[in-house]
Amino acid sequence: MSTHYYLSWFNDFFPEKLVQWLHEDIKDRKSLVMISAQPSGYKGEQINIDDVSERTWLNQANIIFDEYHLIDYRMQKEDAQRLIQNASVIFLCGGDPILQNDFLAEYELSDVIKNSIAVIMGASAGAINMAAKWLSLKNTGYEVETSTIYDGIGFNHFAYESHSKRDYATFVQGYLFPLSEEIDVYAAEQESAMRVKDGKIDIMGPLYLISHSKIQKLVETL
């Protein structure tokens, strides 16, 4: 049995529907391991783990763990892998998806995460990296210069897109259409969530499926 949560971004806290899902799925609360998406940003300072947004959301949902760990470049690779192996919940944090993707590769964490029996969660950049593929756009403010398709961890065979300022109007312009010709793309607005549990997908909030250059809004299942 596997449970994966692909989250967009929440400005305040988790909606009540999502809280109900999480209480249903997260029974083991020994250890929460969060994987930074700004892994080199804390080299000169000690971040207060209590201030990490993703932890705050879980606190507000009254999902409390015995231990909390944040993995970034300050931690040795072997220690990071060991913590992931023993985690109850693994949370890939929001931030820069490329930096996080590079960090996962350098620390050889993807296979360790895939082999875990923990509940896996990702927010924004973290959710992007959980998917099989994702698209990175580089633009000058006027036009897109280049786009690169990255491989994610690949829990589920689809691509995922979640950036806080993008919405239906942006998605329908078609920048994800070329990718959607080779793999289904789930495109998320803010305040949305997707749970994949034993192959079944549940939807909460504004989320779209883009397949073969056609876009449709998905119906909430909770």
Per-residue pLDDT tens over the stretch 134-148: 998 765 454 545 689
- DSSP 8-state symbol, 49: G
- DSSP 8-state symbol, 144: E
Sequential DSSP letters for 59-124: HHTT---SEEEEESTTS-HHHHHHHHHT-SEEEEEEE-HHHHHHHHHHTT-HHHHHT--SEEEEET
Cβ proximity of 54 and 91 under 8 Å: yes
Per-residue pLDDT, 185: 98
Mean pLDDT for 212-218 is 97
| 184 to 46, 122, 124, 170, 202: CA distances (angstroms) | 40, 19, 18, 17, 16
Q: Please check whether the domain covering 3-217 is classified as CATH 3.40.50.10800.
A: no
Is residue 43 over pLDDT 70?
Answer: no
Q: Which of 23-27, 98-102, 139-143, 163-167 has the lowest mean pLDDT?
A: 139-143
113-168 pLDDT, tens digit per residue, is 999 999 999 999 999 999 999 998 765 454 545 689 999 999 999 999 997 678 89
Is residue 20 over pLDDT 60?
Answer: yes
Q: Structural domain boundaries of the chain?
A: 3-217
Per-residue pLDDT, 38: 87
For the chain, the first-to-last Cα distance in angstroms comes to 21
